Amino acid sequence: MKYMKIWWDIIEAGQNDGTIRSDLPPKHIAQIIQIYITGVLDQMVLVKRALE
């Protein structure tokens, strides 16, 4: 959960300066990023286990 707040702050700063789209609230974009990262890490673990 602490990483969610970090992403949230980064997204909020990016939305304020215009580098990140602002049609979604920072909380939702942070959740999408967290889900994506978790999924990638899970896939990496599964591949590692499959290759053992």
SS (H, E, C) 17-39: HCCCCCCCCHHHHHHHHHHHHHH
pLDDT digits (tens, 9 = 90+) for 4-47: 888 889 999 999 999 988 899 998 998 898 899 999 999 999 99
Flag whether the pTM goes above 0.75.
no
Task: Give the span between the Cα atoms of 17 and 44, in whole angstroms.
Answer: 34
